[in-house]
Structures are given as structure tokens and as C-alpha cells.
Structure 1
Amino acid sequence: MEVGECEDLFPSIVSHQPSLMQLHGKIDKQEFMDPYNHIMVERKIPQLKGKLCLGCFEDWLLLADELTKETFFLHRTLDPKLKVLLPPLRGESFDHLGSCIVSSSPTSHRCVVTFVGRGRDVILYCRPKMNVSWTKVQVPIDPQGYHSFTGQAVRFKGKIYILHGSILTERVVVINEDSLLNGDCSWTIIQMPNRISGWYHLVVSGHDMFLVLVATSTLHLGAPTACTIHRLRTSDRTWMCVKSIGGSVFFLGGIQSSALPASQAGTQRDCIYVLNQNYGLLHGEGVYKISMQDQAVSLSLYLKRPRNWICKLCWLMPTRVNQSMKSKRETLSFIHSIGTDKSNGTHVHKEKNKIEKCKTDISRAWADVPIELVEPLLSRLNLADSLRLSSICKAWNSVSNLIQDTNVYPWLMYFANDSCLWRLFDPVFGKEYSIDMKWLGFRKNLTFHYSKDGWVLASKENKHLFLINPIKGEFICLPDLDHSRSTAMSFSSSPVNLDCMVFVVWLTDFQVLEISTWSPGEEEWSKMSFDNESGLYVPCNPVFTRGEFYCYRPNGELLVYNLKKKNLQFLTIKAPFEVTTQNEIGQIITRIMQCHLIEARGDLLTVFRERSKDPLRIFKLDQQYMVWREVDDIGDLTIFLNEKTSLAKSCPEKRCRNLMFLSGFADGHCKSSPSYSLQTNKYYPEESYHIKEPMNCIWIQPSLKALN
């Protein structure tokens, strides 16, 4: 077979841009996935049948026969003459093999191939064409076995850097490659800059090594909610937080991570494509795109069916750069605009032209307009315009007293790049506002957690907690609390109320549930521990109603904490749907879904969605019979969904009734929020790829009391 014919077996995207490849072992077909255009291509490549990919190194694929455990390098041209044999991996499980590191070209006599373990402190290495077997080295970093290699490792300046930890990665183990080959495996430890509930990635880009921390909503669920990047300072082996990755593009996850200059990657600079680390357990959807320029995330590649293990997916970097390929950089600056679609914009433009042609008599004062004509306007105006209306003249000041909190709708609050501006987007009226938060002083690295009554519970560096009122310009410092292990938090009411309580749920281990509470005037947190025999976590923030905090659990159970009695009650309620499923290898696992708990007019609602393309399902708690009942009509309510705070509000606008707004922006711009209609059971926009969500955003309902 000619080389050119072999190359044609791969889709064209493999040669021109980064793509994701999955080999299914015994299955005939191989999949190649395009994260830019959201497409998948299946091919039958005889040379790859029955093979698993263990790594991709420039022009070479490291393959293994799933049946015989034979391993070898094969050139990307698939030419059988360009093949380098390795010792077979008999006796080793592919599932326990982590990242593979290659020191140089497989054709070089100096080449060393190294595997790090996943879930065990083991390293395998060999020299191609020289060794007949793999050398196994046990690295006794944690003799008790509580912590182990996570499977992620990179080679940087003659050393091997390996992520090490248990549930949360705690350290980076550094092993000198020469000492490993000489039989004297010595190591040093570099501590993490901070711990998160999410994904950790090491990636080498140019002459630097980066540690990427991608936080998720809970330990095993959700799209990225925050991303921080640290560059290793080799002089003292410390991590330095950076805001940019130097014009590069990172491709993270799978069996290894890679980096390319944006010009070669064919996409915008300073962005990260990251594979959901948990999709093998049916918990994820595919590849997410993180833009560091505006701290926004979008779903870049949707995996239609679950994959069993992440080690079978590999990033393929282009073998050559197509010089004629134009850059596909996207415009990421948020646009200040009004309206939700093009048709409305055209209508507004025509009306504006008509008004300009009209001659208006402006000789009369605004005060001459009867107040009876002004008052009906309030129900048709957004909050900002209502306040402006009352300030036009003294005679209209009285209308401000008619503005009620019932006419104020939630706004989506998020950061504006790295400035001191916080953005507020009104999805009902399609308008955006800015708040200058210089007075706060510590805006950077601030994370939103929950909001109520115009106040936001936020933290800095996973330790310092604050209650902030961005509209009134007030904040309250709470006692320090290491919430890196917390699963959910909320508060009962505005902290100006003495009976306000901040409520935090911890999962200290699988058998103990800890609750921490704080009220204004207290100098430290009150802590209580409860048995957690089921081992279930709290997938969404609690809500407060009727003097009690309610926490939902995946099995349908409710945890109820009474604020006055300070006791915790477990309400055993059957889950609203089947909570377990069977994966492709026959294991029974718990279905983890996107979950929202909402208080609406004294009732408890739950909203579920397993994957972004699935319908949103709403259940209401029947408090008489204590069962969850599905509803398909919420009347005049409008629901605002967010993983941190979800709100329900009565809305007089007919177009917003029976509607759920999702946090984010449709088509990537501040023109409209994505939504789901219960009437049509459809999303707008229909494709998840058109939705971009700020990683750190939250719904906040302004309180008019804060403006007085």
C-alpha cells in the first residue's frame, strides 16, 4: 500500500487541525472527532482494528493489541515498514495505565518509553529495540496506600512530573529520569497552589510547564465553573498564577495533554479544550471550550454515546500546518445590545426612523403629563428605566413608591474580563448594565456561591467568605472556612436581619455529613456532625423556606435543617426517576444529573437534566403524600436556572411564562439568554454549541430596599 493511500484513510481534519481519536479495540470502526465544527467521522482503518491508542507523539502512534497485549509504535502514515516494536504488556491492565512519556523519537537508541500508573504508585519503562520486557518500579511515596498516582504525567527538562493524591489531587511528584533508569528512583514533592473539586492537568507549552485547575460544580458532575492556571517557576519549584497562556491553545484530558500555538491550532489564542474527565462513568458530555479572555465556557464537542474509559481517547495534533488555512478565531467581546432577535431589531430600527421624521412639541414641561398616565408605564419597564422615570421631574417622584420587588426580575451577574466591572444582564428585557466594584478591592479570584435578597455569598482562595451587596456597595466578612470539601451552601435571608443564617454542608467522608452555620455577630462557625450511612452527597445548593433549609439528595431524599431547633431530619422520599443505570460492561452505577432545587410560593420544585440536549424535567413535592410529582406547566412562573442559585418569579410578560432561562448567552453574545419552553419542549438555541456561559456567574434578584 502506498503512503499516500494510507494517509487518505484518516479524515482530513487529522492533518490540518487538532482532533480527538478513539479506537474501540475489537470494533471495526474508529472515531475521529472535530471539536471546532462539532462533528464526528467514522472510518474503517485495517491497521487500527483491534488496537488501543496509548499515546500520540508527533508523527507516531503508540498502539497496543487489546487481545495479545503487544505494543508498538506506528508512523502516522500507517506504513507497515515504519513500525517500532516494544515489549508486550502482558500481566498489565490497560485501565491501570496512565500517561505515557517518550523521551525522544522512537527510532532513536536513546528513546525511553515510560508509563505511570493510575490508582497505584507504579512506573513502567523500557528502551525500544533494546529491552525484551518492561521494568516495573514501585515508588513508595505513600506506603499506607491512601494516595496514589492519578495517571497524569508530563516530561519537562529531564524530569517526570506526576499528579498524586486521593479524591483531590494534593501534590506533584517530581522524579529524575536518569535516577529512574539507574535503579535509584528518588523524588521530590511540589505542593498544589490550592485544592479544588474538579480536574487537574499538567501540560508543557514551549519552555514552560503549566498546571491547569478546572473546578466543577461537584466532585463528579458538571461543566467547568472556574479555571485557574499556574506556571512552574523552576528556580524554587513554586507555582505562579498567570492570566494568559502566552497565545497558546491547550488540549487537555484523555490519555495525554498537548499544547500548540494558536496559529497552528487554527483557533483563537488563550483558550483551552478540555475533555470531561468523568464521562466514562456516564457523568459527562464531551469536550468543553474555556476562553481565558472572557472566562467563559461552552460545550465544544458532544459525545452522543458514553465511552467506557478515558484512556482510549487521544488528542491528535496536526502533522503539518496548512498555510492556506485561515484563522478561525472567534469574536469574544460581549456586545452591548437590546432585543432578543433580528426581527425585533429591524422593527425597532423602522420605528426609530418614523420617530425621527416626526416633529415633536417639546415646549411643554414633563411635569404637565398627568401622573395617571405615568403609572401604567411602570409595569412595562425594567427596573433601571423605572428608577430613571421617577427622576425626570419632582412631580414624578411619587411613582418610585409604586415600584415593588414583585416587578423586579433576576439578573445574571458575572465578571467583565479582568476589570473591576461586574456585569448584570436582564434576560426579560434583554439589557445589560455594569457596576464598578473598585470599592471592593479584592475582586480577583472571587467565586460566587449563592445569592438571595440582593446579597451574594462569595469566597476568595477557597477560604475567605464574604456576603456582598453589589448594588448598595456593602460587604460583610465571615470567619475563615476551608470550603474545598463543601458540597453545598446558602443563607436564609439578608444579613441585615439578626436571624440570618449561613448554611454549609460538608461531606467529610462517605459516612459523615457535617453542617456548619454562622449568623451575624458570631465570631466562629458552629459545626455539627451527622451519620451519612447512604454515602450520598448534596448535588445542589439548599433552599430556605418556612424556617427550614432543604437539601436534595440523588435518591430523592430530603435533608431538612430547622433553624430554631438546630436539628437535622432525614425525609425518605422515593426519587422522582430511576437513579441507577447499567453501563456497557454491566456495572450498576448511579445516574448523576444536573439538579436544581427551587422554592416557589412556598412549594419545593426540582429541575433535572442528564445531558445538555435532554429535556428539562420539573417535579413538585406533594407535601401531603411526600412524593415528587412531575409537572409540565408552571403557569405564569418564569424559572431562572443556575447551578449555584435558581429562582422562580411570576412574570406578567406572556412571552416569559412557562419558560426557563439558562445562565449564559445564546450565540455567544449578550443579546439573549438561552431558554427552554415547557410549552414547546424545545431549547433556544437548539444546539448547545451556541451557548456560552461565564464560568463564574449567578442569578441575583435586586432588592429595592437596597436602593433606598
Structure 2
Amino acid sequence: MSYLLLKDNIRASAVCKAWREATEHVRVGEKYPWIISFPTQGTLFDLFDPLQRKMYSLNLPDIAGMNVCFSKEGWLLMRKSRFVEFFFFNPYSRELISLPNCELPFQAIAFSSAPTSGTCVLVTLNPISEYLVAISICYPGETELINMEFPCSIAFDPNMHSNLIYANGHFYCFTAGGVLFDFDPSSRTLNQQAWDEPIFPNIHNSEWIYLPKIFYLMKQKGELFLMYTYGSETPVVYKLVSSKWEEMSSALLDGLTIFASRYCSETRMNVLGMRNSVYFPKYDVHNKQCVSYSYDEGRYSPCKQKELGSVESLWIEPPPCKDV
């Protein structure tokens, strides 16, 4: 049983009691991110395990009252409120790494890897006008940002776009109208690719015109996935296959779990108890239940998700040990 993939392990466990005991004994699920919530005041930050439904507290006076911009590999990208000063911060080790000031506005921001990895690059993206995009790049240890401008053959929609994501050495951002922006930091080039609007029929459908629409861009083993939500309707998921976006049914998800956030979105495969679902960094404090959508059950949980508070929160890698 130890040689089986997790999905085959789960299928084998349904054969009989003896097989179930054997499969459960060797079953190891993939690690999943937790939620970190930023208080409106004070220095105590909530850390929530969405599967075990356990809450922890972190006393982080170093970032109290500041804005968070992005999260990756356990690191937070922070910005001092009303200031242009940015820095990396690890809430578990309390390590802080300064960055050059960023005086230009931006619509999306992301970094490629942990700032201690030696390969980290930070990128900001901002449309100056309808057909002109500004991009800034920065490396930890540098004293200033590199600012560039790129003409665009297709307009960047500043009101409806995804988060910025790093995959396969490139940064990607998706905008309304079916346009994928692709920035290569090594060659410092920006490319665009557009798809026909009917691929995303409900984005501008008059039936959903008054519902808030949000794009989430993410990756899984180097492949790009796109999800958009509108109101309380079923989240729609696409996968980029051979330069074509293909809609993913529940069967095609094959155990995929999406952890969606307007800051950054993550994916995992075959997380026990979380398969074929979308999780949002929003939870019921009293019942300790995370807002999620199950494609297998075809519903959101909890049902009264709109009644939950709008605390600023995002996904982060869990602490090295659970004794937080």
C-alpha cells in the first residue's frame, strides 16, 4: 500500500476493513496552508488551521497596524500604512528583510520565492493608461527598484484582474476579456495572449452584471489554473492546456484543492478531507469553520457565509511546528 499514490490509496481503502486499516496506516496527505488574520487593532494575530479547526495566536508587534501585500513560503510582504516602505517578514522566526522604497502605485504585486533563497525577485504591475503598463522589479539586497514601461496591444483592465503569480520563471496576471499578461524578469519582456470571450460566457453576462466577479490565478506543478467567482454561484475553474483554457469539472479536478485569496492563491493535491474544494481565507470564529465550496456536494459551507465579518486575512504556510 505504501507504493500507491494517495488517490489510489483512498480507492483501495474502500475494498474491505483490512485494506482500509492498511491504507490509513501508510497514508500521508500533502501539507496545506493556514489562515493568518490581521487585527484592526492590537498586536495579536490569529492563525487558523482550516482542516483541524484550531485557532492559535501570534504576538507580532513588528507588523501591527501595517498592510500585507503577498504571502509565499511562510514569508509576508508588508507595507507600512500610508508609506512606501516595504519589507519581508517571517511571522514564525520574526526575521525582517528590508526592501527599497516603492513610490509608484501598483495593481498587482508578488515575489517568486523566499527572500532567503538567493533566487527571489519581487515584481509590481500597474497600468499607467489603457495601453501602457508599468512594471517594477527588485531583488533582496538591492538599493533601488528597476522601473520599466511596456506598450500593450490589448488593454489591461484595472478593475477586473487576477492576482499576480510566479510560475516557470515568469510572472502572470489575467484580466477581463480573456487576456493573460506574461512577464519574464530574466529577459525583461512582457507578452500578451488573448482568448475568445465565449470561453468565459458569464463574466459580462447581463444576468450576473451586478454580482461581484473576482479572478484567482494559481499553479499546480507548473500548470496554470484560473478560477472566477460571482456572488454565491459555483466557482468556475479553468486549466491552461496547450494554449487553451479548458473548464474543469468535478471529475477532472481529481482531488485538487484551491486556496483562493485576492493576495495570492495556492493549490494542493489530495489533501485528506479537502479534495475537490475551494477554500477562502474567511471563517466563522464561533463554529471554527472555514468558508469553502465543495464540488462533490455542490454547495458552499457554511451556508450563511455573507454574515461573517470581513477581517483582512490570507493564506500562509503553516508553522514549522504546531506549538505556536
CA-atom RMSD in angstroms: 2.6
SS at match of 1:422: strand
Q: Does 1:602 align with 2:222?
A: yes
Deviation of 1:513 (Å)? 0.5
Query: Is 1:616 matched up with 2:235?
Result: yes
Aligned to 1:161: none
Residue 494 (str. 1) matches residue 114 (str. 2) = yes
SS in 2 for 1:408: coil
Give 1:450's aligned residue: 70
* Paired residue total: 291
Q: CA deviation at 1:580?
A: 3.4
Aligned with 2:303 (options 662, 670, 686): 686
The answer on 1:660 being equivalent to 2:278 is yes
Q: 1:674 aligns with which of 286, 291, 316?
A: 291
Is the Cα contact below 8 Å between 1:665 and 1:693 reproduced in 2? no
Q: In the TM superposition, what is the alpha-carbon distance from 1:669 to its structure 2 partner?
A: 2.9
Structure 2 regions of 5+ residues with no counterpart?
A: 1-24
Counterpart residue type for residue 489 of structure 1: I
Q: Deviation at 1:564?
A: 1.7
Given that 1:581 and 1:591 are in contact with CA atoms closer than 8 Å, whether structure 2 keeps it comes out as no
User: Does structure 2 conserve the Cα–Cα contact (< 8 Å) formed by 1:502 and 1:519?
Assistant: yes
Alignment of 1:423 onto 2:39: no
- Return structure 1 stretches of 4+ with deviation > 4 angstroms: 376-379, 589-592
- Aligned position for 1:561: 183
Q: 1:434-583 residue pairs with structure 2 within 5 A? A: 434-438=57-61, 440=62, 442-444=63-65, 446-462=66-82, 463-483=84-104, 485-537=105-157, 539-575=161-197, 576-578=199-201, 579-581=203-205
Shift, 1:468, TM fit = 0.9
Correspondence 1:627-642 to 2 at 5 A = 627-633=244-250, 634-642=253-261
Q: Map 1:337-348 to 2 at 5 A.
A: none
Match of 2:318 in 1: 702
Pairwise CA distance, 1:464: 1.4
TM-score with structure 2 setting the length: 0.82
Percent identity between matched residues is 25
Task: For 1:573, give the aligned amino acid.
Answer: W
CA distance 1:592–1:425, change in 2 (3 Å): closer
The letter for the 2-side match of 1:503 is V
Instruction: Give the distance between the partners of 1:592 and 1:433, measured in 2 at CA.
Output: 32
| Amino acid aligned to 1:595 | F
**Structure 1 residue 417, shift from structure 2 partner:** 4.6
Q: Deviation at 1:658?
A: 0.7
Of 268, 275, 282, the match for 1:649: 268
The answer to which structure, 1 or 2, has the higher relative contact order (CA under 8 A, 6+ apart) is 2
Give per-residue Cα distances to partners, 1:137-180, cap 9 Å, x unaligned.
Answer: xxxxxxxxxxxxxxxxxxxxxxxxxxxxxxxxxxxxxxxxxxxx
Q: Displacement of 1:674 after TM fit? A: 1.1
Give the letter aligned to residue 473 of structure 1: R
In the alignment, the residues of structure 2 paired with residue 592 and residue 621 of structure 1 have an alpha-carbon distance, to the nearest angstrom, of: 24
Consecutive unaligned residues of structure 1, counting only runs of 5 or more, are 1-375, 380-405, 584-588
Which runs of structure 2 are paired with 1:18-167 in the superposition (5 Å)?
none
**Distance of 2:210 and 2:60 partners within structure 1:** 42
Q: Judge conservation of contact 2:154–2:192 (CA < 8 Å) in 1.
A: no
Normalising to structure 1: TM-score of the pair?
0.39
Matched position secondary structure for 1:523: coil
Counterpart residue identity of residue 572, structure 1: A
Aligned to 1:35: none
Residue of structure 1 aligned with 2:35, choices 404, 412, 432: 412
Give the drift of 1:693. Answer: 3.2
Deviation at 1:582, TM superposition (A): 5.2
